[in-house]
Amino acid sequence: MMFDSVKRFPFLDWMRGLAILVMIECHTFNSFTRVDLRDGGPYILSQFIGGMAAPLFLFMAGMTMGFQMESLERREASRWGRWRESLKRAGFVLFIAFTFRFTNWLFSVPHANLQELTKVDILNCMGVGMAALAALAAVRTKERARAAVAAGVLIAAISPLMTTLPWGGSPALLQEYLVPGQARGHFPFFPWVAYIAFGLAVGTIVKRAPADRFDRLMQWSVLIGGIMITSGQYFSNLPFSFYPHANFWTDSPALISIRVGICLLIMAGSYLWTEYCAGARWSWMQALGKNSLMVYWIHVMIVYGAMVRPVKRSMDIPQATVATAIVAGMMVLMSALWLRWKGRKAPKAKIAAA
């Protein structure tokens, strides 16, 4: 999801569009598939694949932060000024997050639940994580990538330890924002903000890379991504653990390593496709990516809203597949029309400004 105007890279729009497509598939199956089919392979596979959507979005949010911080450094000499501007962007994301929660609650009427307003969703995690990492704007670009990697490693490494702390006496909402656990938010700071930190490091490197070095950069992305996936898998299969308690699917550093590695491979694959295969023609995947926030917002209201309540959890796998295709098609059409409208409006705005 993109919240600010930065230099656009076609491969990142394509990558963001892929994340949107995966998320639509995950949410549609989750909302519409019958309960008795949820232990079967097709449904489990849909959620397994869909599990990469959130890491991709957070990773790319970090990349966008890296772009913005690099641009800030060129026009803002004061470290405190850069930090303040980065905090403002994080505050804007949090505003969007709470507005999103309110609209979800509103569209759930008459079955609305007030807990919907305080649910810790991916946008809430994104805003809090961006606020925490905003301090990296005060670091010079040459050191920022290393500092972001260190932050990502630290967050990932201590996540299992944070989960084991005695949280019993603390407010439930604080727990939801900080650590995973039963009946808590799906996107707590530990470990999800690690993806933003690693994305920030990659975004800083990508932003500074000369155009003639991009091929080599993507080759390194494939190599490092493969190493991270292999390392994460190796450590997750060890017969012992470095932590007294760790859950692979909620707070494991090994899972973070695997998913960040997959993000790097997807980034390289997206670059290869857009640079050498797709050409300059219109891309429906990039259209989704350019409107990722709007698509995210609207598709969630469609698949989880009150208007589809009669068909929720009532479909078999083929029907859920068709529903996924319909929702995805609607989002592509909406994105295409929106971009077309913006394209027609832009020349008129330039003429009026002149």
Contact 284, 336 (CB under 8 A): yes
pLDDT at position 199, please?
98
CA distance 353 to 264: 41
Residue 269 lies in a domain: yes
Break the chain down into helix, strand, coil percent, rounded to 5.
80, 0, 20
Q: What is the CA radius of gyration of the chain?
A: 21
pLDDT at position 7, please?
54
pLDDT at position 193, please?
98
Residue 5 lies in a domain: no
Residue 172 lies in a domain: yes
pLDDT at position 185, please?
55
Which residue bears the tokens 């709007």? 294
CA distance 108 to 338: 26
Residue 185 lies in a domain: yes
Predicted confidence (pLDDT) per residue in 36-63, tens digit: 999 989 999 999 999 999 999 999 999 9
| pLDDT of 103 higher than 80 | yes
Structure tokens at 341: 């409208």
Residue 265 lies in a domain: yes
pLDDT at position 113, please?
75
| pLDDT of 4 higher than 50 | no
Instruction: Give the number of domains in the chain.
Output: 1
Contact 18, 294 (CB under 8 A): no
**Chain-wide mean pLDDT for the chain?**
90
Q: What is the DSSP code (8-state) at residue 274?
A: I
Helix axes of 189-208 and 141-163: crossing angle, nearest 10 degrees:
160
Sign of CA dihedral 189, 192, 198, 203: negative
- φ, ψ at 170 (rounded to 5°): -90, 155
Domain that holds residue 181: 10-353
Contact 115, 124 (CB under 8 A): no
Predicted confidence (pLDDT) per residue in 87-102, tens digit: 999 999 999 999 998 9
Residue 294 lies in a domain: yes
Residue 1 lies in a domain: no
Residue 288 lies in a domain: yes
At 351, is the pLDDT very low, low, confident or very high (cuts 50, 70, 90)? low
pTM, entire model: 0.92
Structure tokens at 131: 């606020």
240: three-class secondary structure by DSSP? coil
Sign of CA dihedral 99, 173, 201, 247: negative
pLDDT at position 68, please?
94
Torsion region of 183: left, alpha or beta (phi above 0 gives left; psi -120 to 50 gives alpha): left
Q: How far, in whole angstroms, is CA 120 from its chain's centroid?
A: 14
CA distance 301 to 181: 26
